[in-house]
Amino acid sequence: MYERLTDGDDTDLTGLVAYALYKQNKRAWITDRLERNSLYPSPQQVDEHVQSYTDMQISMFRDRARETLFQFADRLLEQNTESIKQEARGEAIVQEVKRQGGFWRTVGVNAMAGAVIGLAVVVIYVLAYSNPNIRDFFERHSPTTQVVQ
């Protein structure tokens, strides 16, 4: 029966679930026989029962298995939709950071900007104090040189 339900393929998930459904059905049949007759069916009776399954019944097991797997996938997707969205957002952020050059590139750009600003301040300071007119202007307008009345 395993070969009929799985086509002999151990990776056929639908077939494996169909086989589990068949086993449940077979167990229910044996339990029913036990309850009706107060004894287990003989191995020959079990074999006859297994051999009585038609291609249509095999197809029904596979259809039920397929439906069970779809329902499972739907529930799994429902339960994990939010985490999937968050993971996708996180991946988008990582891709954007990679596109922009990553952490060390950002550190380098910021260090370079800091150096340029520092150099600009030094140049302004040197120019301001090397020219007496500019120096006098700043000294007259400095808050520390104004007298508060």
Can you say how many angstroms the Cα of residue 93 is from the centroid of all Cα atoms in its chain? 14
DSSP 17: H
Q: By three-state DSSP, how is residue 101 classified?
A: coil
Cβ–Cβ under 8 Å, residues 40 and 33: yes
- Give the predicted TM-score (pTM) of the model: 0.52
pLDDT at 108: 83
User: Mind listing the pLDDT tens digit of every residue in the chain (149 residues)?
Assistant: 888 888 777 778 888 889 899 999 899 999 998 888 888 888 898 888 888 888 898 899 899 999 998 998 888 888 878 887 777 777 777 777 677 666 777 788 888 999 999 888 888 878 777 777 776 776 777 666 555 55
pLDDT at 67: 92
First to last CA, the chain: 106
